[in-house]
Structure 1
């Protein structure tokens, strides 16, 4: 188990593949931990250095008191990469992880040579929507929103499988403070202007059944970045690496090959 001690926070991270390989870094969604990428990692080409981590307030990382700012989440990622000696990585961010990717690209272009924005946008939801959700979670716990989130996260066929229970458990076992703190960071983020100035190679992925960041919203964000490529994964909800890991791996591998990242 790898814990990086940054002083004010300890981040849990994991590395697969070749430690000397071209780095690919993964940042997951609100309410999940780094196991979100478990099905994807074995399907990626050999020889890459695959790094994933738990955001503050999630998984096995520290859970300081919230609310968190997006700048803090971006800085956590920046310090993780600096701490691990990572440069010129491809940063794959899903949902809030995609916001972190955009913030990192604006702040530290030396760390990223390309990014994959998955099931995300430059601005996700409204401040009022997030305020309502935070209030509910603080009053009644994550359990109170779990069933609604499962509908937004996963397609109907996937929700009928036994596996759904594991993802629901992952969500409800995240600390309320970490969930609410990260939700506050998303609520306060509007990256439309800074993201529209980005020109690094970008692959943008959406799920056709995504109820959290619908395809049209994701497509709009792709339109902000010059030369970005947009791909729709059919039959997948908000977490395509879970529902359609094979297709996700094919798209990601194709992108890495196209930019010569191997």
Structure 2
């Protein structure tokens, strides 16, 4: 049975978190966790290939998509607990987790704090630390004072995709632009606060789950060195470098999918 029903849970602090399943309910569950400024549709093009092997659970992080947008700074602890509450509400004891960018930070949190809920981890285009914290204060303040999301959206797109994808009307990039422009500033600013305040450089050593770290060779947001450092920190982690910028799942889709599927389906 293939399900495409989109629905929501409500967290302990009263925030509605939207989610959806895709794929056969008898397959192992793979949770997908998104970048700031995106919603669960950032994985749309990867769903057909991934759902051959997994039942996919996608969700909109608080502040994004069809989920609620509470005011104020968010914490990584809260973003991680949102996922735990989602798994609890759905009766899912243990899942694979694939997170990109902020989603990869949340995935690290899950491996550190609730490793028994995680089977295998894929940490893509992410980092254990993106400091110093002071560098985030001005962007957060400027975004909240801006008239709209337009300047921030263009900044994101230039950090996410190579110039060749930005030069003409690329349908995929246009989809990300529409999502960014529809995202409320409070959601992005709240999420940036979580990035500002987190530091997993020491605690990532506690992750016991089999882990694959994927980095983009030309990524200016979370650099290849960030990926190498993370892979060196998580015990036994593997490292894969793709010739991409930040959205490796989009720009390097074939290589990305090959690496993810191979890692998640191999016999332990």
| TM-score, length-scaled by structure 2 | 0.92
Partner of 2:182: 173
SS at match of 2:206: coil
1:40–1:248: 8 Å Cα contact kept in structure 2? no
Partner of 2:160: 153
2:115–2:207: 8 Å Cα contact kept in structure 1? no
1:15–1:49: 8 Å Cα contact kept in structure 2? yes
Partner of 1:142: 149
Superposition deviation, residue 259 in structure 1 = 4.4
Partner of 1:113: 119
1:30–1:95: 8 Å Cα contact kept in structure 2? yes
Unaligned runs of 5+ in 1: none
Partner of 1:6: 11
What is the alpha-carbon distance in structure 2 between the residues aligned to residue 36 and residue 185 of structure 1? Answer: 21
What is the alpha-carbon distance in structure 1 between the residues aligned to residue 222 and residue 54 of structure 2? Answer: 29
Q: How does 1:1-262 map to 2 (within 5 A)?
A: 1-6=6-11, 8-44=14-50, 46-140=52-146, 141-162=148-169, 163=171, 164-234=173-243, 236-259=244-267
User: Is the alpha carbon distance of 1:71 and 1:81 closer, same or farther for their aligned partners in structure 2, counting shifts above 3 Å?
Assistant: same
SS at match of 2:91: coil
What is the alpha-carbon distance in structure 2 between the residues aligned to residue 172 and residue 216 of structure 1? Answer: 31
Superposition deviation, residue 198 in structure 1 = 1.7
1:29–1:96: 8 Å Cα contact kept in structure 2? yes
Of 144-153 and 26-35, more deviation after overlay is shown by: 144-153
Q: Could you list the per-position Cα deviations for residues 117-168 of structure 1 after superposition, in whole angstroms to 9, with x for gaps in the alignment?
A: 0000111243122111101101114322222222211112211242223212
What is the alpha-carbon distance in structure 1 between the residues aligned to residue 149 and residue 267 of structure 2? Answer: 40
RMSD of aligned residue pairs (Cα, Å): 1.5
What is the alpha-carbon distance in structure 2 between the residues aligned to residue 245 and residue 91 of structure 1? Answer: 18
What is the alpha-carbon distance in structure 2 between the residues aligned to residue 88 and residue 6 of structure 1? Answer: 19
What is the alpha-carbon distance in structure 1 between the residues aligned to residue 174 and residue 94 of structure 2? Answer: 37
User: Is the alpha carbon distance of 1:96 and 1:203 closer, same or farther for their aligned partners in structure 2, counting shifts above 3 Å?
Assistant: same
1:138–1:176: 8 Å Cα contact kept in structure 2? yes
What is the alpha-carbon distance in structure 1 between the residues aligned to residue 86 and residue 51 of structure 2? Answer: 23
Superposition deviation, residue 47 in structure 1 = 4.5
Q: Could you list the per-position Cα deviations for residues 31-53 of structure 1 after superposition, in whole angstroms to 9, with x for gaps in the alignment?
A: 00000001111112525211010
| TM-score, length-scaled by structure 1 | 0.94
